[in-house]
């Protein structure tokens, strides 16, 4: 941790979807800045890999398995975080799925419910129990991961995903108004393509993906998970004390 500012020193942070991609980058970034991080998700193996990376850098973390579509498991996750680290100061709700592309009339009920249950209900349940704890214990900060697809941009074949992520944006801003006076600051980050497997098309090689994004994005490349993590840390930090109900789009000017 040498050389890192420790703006979250001693703070307890919960990151859902922390086993891979953006969630892993976010968890590692908080730990580098002094936080004690609960890394949550459904796959114990990848969660433990994230914890090992954090510990190798001198940080403190714990892997907690939970399915965010289950109220009982989310409630237990918040309780487990508090027991492990003595509180909950910051929550980053990052769990999400990207259903197979399909026109609206061709989306199956299973695909629709899977997208909404995970991407929207999972965020709502996470906030419900995180905020309930925070407002009784001095407040805190919540950052939800939405998407530029949804409230900011639409694309053919992504109806279920767009609907779920647009709803996350609206829910975030409504929750921010509901709970500002409770001492809980709530914001969202809406990434565009990020350099993770989720942004790759089926069968696409890294070289093909890079070439496609050079043409599709004004920036000419995907964002890195670390760039998204930096934005999340800012929104959760004291430097963003007056930032409430924001939805920060990070998509290489795709929606500019």
Does residue 139 sit within a domain?
Answer: yes
Query: pLDDT tens for residues 1-19?
Result: 444 689 999 999 999 999 9
**Rounded average pLDDT over 173-179:** 98
Q: Which two tokens stand for residue 207?
A: 């070289």
Which pLDDT belongs to residue 5? 84
User: Is residue 5, in this structure, part of any structural domain at all?
Assistant: no
CATH of the domain at 126: 3.40.50.720
**Mean pLDDT to the nearest integer, 173-187:** 98
What is the predicted pLDDT for the residue at 117? 98
Residue 256 domain flag: no
| Cβ contacts of 3 within 8 Å, gap of 6 or more | none
Question: Domain for residue 240, yes or no?
Answer: yes
Contacts 24+ apart (CB under 8 A), 110-114: 111/160, 112/160
Residue 4 is predicted with a pLDDT of 66
In a domain? residue 231: yes
Q: What is the Cα 200 distance to its own chain's centre?
A: 19
Q: Which domain holds residue 33?
A: 12-250
pTM summary value: 0.95
Look at residue 7 and tell me if it is in a domain.
no
Task: Give 147's DSSP letter.
Answer: -
Ordered DSSP codes for 52-91: HHHHHTT-EEEEEE--TT-HHHHHHHHHHHHHHHS---EE
DSSP string across 96-109: ---PPPB-GGG--H
How much is the pLDDT for 201?
Answer: 84
Specify if 64 maps to a domain: yes
The whole-angstrom separation of Cα 95 and Cα 23 is: 8
Q: Is residue 6 part of a domain?
A: no
**pLDDT tens digits, residue range 18-65?**
999 999 999 999 999 999 999 999 999 999 999 999 999 999 999 999
Round to whole Å and give the CA distance between 90 and 217.
32
Of 8, 85, 129, 161, the active-site residue reads 161
Q: How many domains does the chain have?
A: 1
Question: Is residue 90 a contact partner of residue 140, using CB atoms and an 8 Å limit?
Answer: yes
Q: Is 161 a catalytic residue?
A: yes
Residue keyed to tokens 């497997």: 197
């Amino acid at each position: 941790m040498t050389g890192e500012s420790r703006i979250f020193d001693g703070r307890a942070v919960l990151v859902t979807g922390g086993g891979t991609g953006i969630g892993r980058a976010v968890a590692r970034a908080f730990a580098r800045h002094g936080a004690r991080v609960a890394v949550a998700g459904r796959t114990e193996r990848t969660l433990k890999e994230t914890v090992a990376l954090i510990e190798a850098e001198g940080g403190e973390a714990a892997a907690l398995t939970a399915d965010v579509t289950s109220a009982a498991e989310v409630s237990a996750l918040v309780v487990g975080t508090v027991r492990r680290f003595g509180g909950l100061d910051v929550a980053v709700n990052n769990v999400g799925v990207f259903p197979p592309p399909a026109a609206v009339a061709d989306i199956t009920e299973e695909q629709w419910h899977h997208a909404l249950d995970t991407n929207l209900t999972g965020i709502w349940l996470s906030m419900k129990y995180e905020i309930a704890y925070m407002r009784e214990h001095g407040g805190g900060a919540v950052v939800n991961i939405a998407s530029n697809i949804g409230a900011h941009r639409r694309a053919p074949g992504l109806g279920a995903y767009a609907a779920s992520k647009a709803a996350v944006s609206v829910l975030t801003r409504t929750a921010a108004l509901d709970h500002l006076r409770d001492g809980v600051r709530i914001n969202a980050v809406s990434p565009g393509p990020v350099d993770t497997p989720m942004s790759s098309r089926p069968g696409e090689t890294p070289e093909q993906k890079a070439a496609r994004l050079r043409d599709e994005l004004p920036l000419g490349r995907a964002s890195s998970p670390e760039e998204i993590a930096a934005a999340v840390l800012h929104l959760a930090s004291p430097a963003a004390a007056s930032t409430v109900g924001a939805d920060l789009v990070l998509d290489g000017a795709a929606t500019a």
